[in-house]
Chain A
Amino acid sequence: MKVLVAVKRVIDANVKVRVKADGTGVETTNVKMSMNPFDEIGIEEAIRLKEAGKATEVIALSAGVQQCQETLRTALAMGADRGILIQTDAELQPLAVAKLFKAVVEKEQPQLVILGKQAIDDDCNQTGQMLSTLLGWAQGTFASKLEPNGDSLTVTREVDGGLETVALKMPAVITTDLRLNEPRYASLPNIMKAKKKPIETLTPDELGVDVSPRLKTLKVVEPPPRKSGVRVSSVAELVDKLRNEAKVI
């Protein structure tokens, strides 16, 4: 089974994001970029499937600017076999990404496609579901456990009330949740080896996909700050404040 895994280049989860003064977006110059954490989980899962003899090849896929190469190299260093970059400077929204990925799926014919449940920059939580729909495939979103068995895939999903298990017809699209696995760090020898693994570059034009955005961002602002609070020195004082000042208990 061939597994395709989406990896998005995003501002690192530990960076304190700043809104640009002109309200057009957030500051990205000189900011540390990393692989979207949910996509690290996706790569890890695919590699584990390969190590378990269930997957034959793991392909990492990214869409965006030329620097997404670095994100793909990270995936290759973790253990993916090869990379595909759909290179463009255009702003990409989830529907456009799903259309690009559909074109790659049609070329590569994987049996399983893994995406993150959510990109931590746009917080959209859409692309996997959209890709699955465009392909006419089943989806297993927010996955915390995968069990492939022949042409069916059992997926445990993290839902608001707890856990849900579904059986999907293969091929299928999965989106990862936090508890699916703990991604490995790439070892130095594997980082060196990854430099020699192939990355193919495609463009939206070559794939015949119109990526024009459907949503226009009119402005981006900082959320209103909370007014500063007070230190209390004892539990008794805390309860008194909650009862008599805040009046919430």
Chain B
Amino acid sequence: MSVLVVAEHDNTNLKPATLNAVTAAAKLGDVAVLVAGSNCHGVAEAAAKIGGVAKVLLADDPAYEHRLAENLAALVAKLAPGFTHVLATATSAGKNVMPRVAALLDVAQISDISAVEGADTFVRPIYAGNALATVQSSDPIKVITVRATGFDPAPAEGGSAAIETVDPAGDSGLSQFVGQALSKSERPELTSARVIISGGRGMQSGENFHLLEKVADKLGAAVGASRAAVDAGFVPNDYQVGQTGKIVAPELYIAVGISGAIQHLAGMKDSKVIVAINKDEDAPILQVADYSLVADLFQAVPELAAELEK
């Protein structure tokens, strides 16, 4: 069996979630990685070094510069018949393109798998992670998105796969990239951070997130948020952790002024250690926390930053 992993990248860097998808793929067969982009040879070289990767396919063409779903799906679907499985990360990029691949192949997509049970059988969370479904596919090619927190990352170094060039599949002319406003941060990315500190509606304003940043500085942490904090405009949309935001599972997750709605828990309850700081002793977040501190965050968080100095 051979498996195609669609790499996620920005033409310069390979996104770390790709490594988790490679681990899922390696459970299914020989792994080939597709790097489709523009002037992205460096990414292909990085992909070739991933441990366990047998082959890298490189499609270098302006049509893939911004990985528009219409263009990229056509390429992946054209390559897919050589494989038993096609995998991508369950990130906004993977979710955008893979259902198109599935539709072109007339197969189901198996979204957001958290475990591989066999060549055709996978586990995936449903209902905001309130239930885990084991599903079996009857399709000839399995199109899958991978939840990164379900799989360890494959080693980024150690492989020496050959890089093969593949022909591009053309520009659909259906959509055009206009621009982007990416959040700039010196901090680690939410989905690969070892420590995360997230704020909720209890933070009261965007400025108050500086309190969390002081703690984040001490711990090398990423900063996240609940939906309520994003909706209120405290922080940008890409901070949102949860069922409909990012799924994270760091070593340490600190929830500050977050009540712990099921949709938030869906995004973080697989963290190794959970800390909750909340002034309401009945807040549901305290039920999933390993350590909970019932306190006013405006007192506790500055104290935490000071204590970490010691």
Known contacts A94-B109, A179-B230; is-contact A19 B130 (Cβ 8 Å): yes
Partner of B102, one of A126, A128, A242, A248: A126
Given the complex, which residues of B lie within 8 Å of A229, measured CB to CB? 274, 286, 288-292
- Measured CA separation A11–B263 after assembly (Å): 14
CB-based nearest A residue for B114: A223
Interface centre among A11, A127, A232, A233 (most CB of B within 10 A): A232
Range for the number of chain A residues in contact with chain B: 35 or more
The answer to whether B135 touches A238 (Cβ under 8 A) is no
B182 at the interface (CB under 8 A from A): yes
CB-based nearest B residue for A26: B131
CB-based nearest A residue for B8: A160
CB-based nearest B residue for A142: B92
Given the complex, which residues of A lie within 8 Å of B275, measured CB to CB? 238, 242
Q: Which of A49-94 contact B (CB under 8 A)?
A: 93-94
The answer to whether B99 touches A130 (Cβ under 8 A) is yes
A120 at the interface (CB under 8 A from B): yes
A104 at the interface (CB under 8 A from B): no
Interface centre among A94, A154, A166, A167 (most CB of B within 10 A): A166
Given the complex, which residues of A lie within 8 Å of B182, measured CB to CB? 161-163
Given the complex, which residues of B lie within 8 Å of A165, measured CB to CB? 177-180
- Measured CA separation A141–B69 after assembly (Å): 10
We find that the number of chain B residues with CB closer than 8 angstroms to chain A is 90
- Measured CA separation A125–B109 after assembly (Å): 10
Q: Which of B183-219 contact A (CB under 8 A)?
A: 183, 191, 195, 219
Residue-wise interface mask of B (170-184) relative to A, using a CB-CB cutoff of 8 A (1 in contact, 0 not): 001111111111110
B165 at the interface (CB under 8 A from A): no
- Measured CA separation A124–B252 after assembly (Å): 28
- Nearest-neighbour CB distance to chain B for A23, whole angstroms, equals 9
The answer to whether B99 touches A125 (Cβ under 8 A) is yes
A7 at the interface (CB under 8 A from B): no
Partner of A220, one of B92, B126, B237: B126
Given the complex, which residues of A lie within 8 Å of B177, measured CB to CB? 164-166
The answer to whether A164 touches B180 (Cβ under 8 A) is yes
- Nearest-neighbour CB distance to chain A for B119, whole angstroms, equals 14
- Nearest-neighbour CB distance to chain B for A200, whole angstroms, equals 26
- Nearest-neighbour CB distance to chain A for B178, whole angstroms, equals 4
CB-based nearest A residue for B124: A123
A21 at the interface (CB under 8 A from B): no
- Nearest-neighbour CB distance to chain A for B136, whole angstroms, equals 5
A48 at the interface (CB under 8 A from B): no
A197 at the interface (CB under 8 A from B): no
A201 at the interface (CB under 8 A from B): no
Given the complex, which residues of A lie within 8 Å of B272, measured CB to CB? 248
The answer to whether B99 touches A163 (Cβ under 8 A) is no
Given the complex, which residues of B lie within 8 Å of A193, measured CB to CB? none
The answer to whether B136 touches A124 (Cβ under 8 A) is no
B26 at the interface (CB under 8 A from A): no
B246 at the interface (CB under 8 A from A): yes
The answer to whether B130 touches A123 (Cβ under 8 A) is no
Query: Which of B39-47, B52-60, B154-162, B300-308 forms contacts with chain A?
Result: B300-308
A196 at the interface (CB under 8 A from B): no
- Nearest-neighbour CB distance to chain B for A148, whole angstroms, equals 14
The answer to whether B108 touches A214 (Cβ under 8 A) is yes
Residue-wise interface mask of B (80-97) relative to A, using a CB-CB cutoff of 8 A (1 in contact, 0 not): 000000000001110111
- Measured CA separation A169–B274 after assembly (Å): 46
Beyond the given A11-B127, A13-B263, A162-B236, could you list 15 further A-B residue pairs with CB under 8 A, ordered by the A residue number?
A93-B108, A138-B175, A144-B237, A161-B183, A163-B182, A178-B244, A218-B121, A218-B136, A222-B131, A229-B286, A235-B300, A239-B308, A239-B310, A246-B290, A246-B291
Cβ contacts A to B, 5 pairs, < 8 Å:
A16-B262, A141-B96, A164-B179, A223-B132, A238-B275
- B-binding residues in A (CB < 8 A): 11, 13, 16-17, 19, 26, 38, 93-95, 98, 117-118, 120-130, 132-134, 137-142, 144, 154, 157-169, 177-179, 213-223, 226, 228-236, 238-239, 241-242, 246, 248-249
- A-binding residues in B (CB < 8 A): 66, 68-70, 73, 91-93, 95-100, 102-104, 106-112, 121, 124-139, 172-183, 191, 195, 219, 227, 230-231, 236-238, 243-244, 246, 251-252, 262-263, 269, 272-275, 286-295, 300, 303-304, 307-308, 310
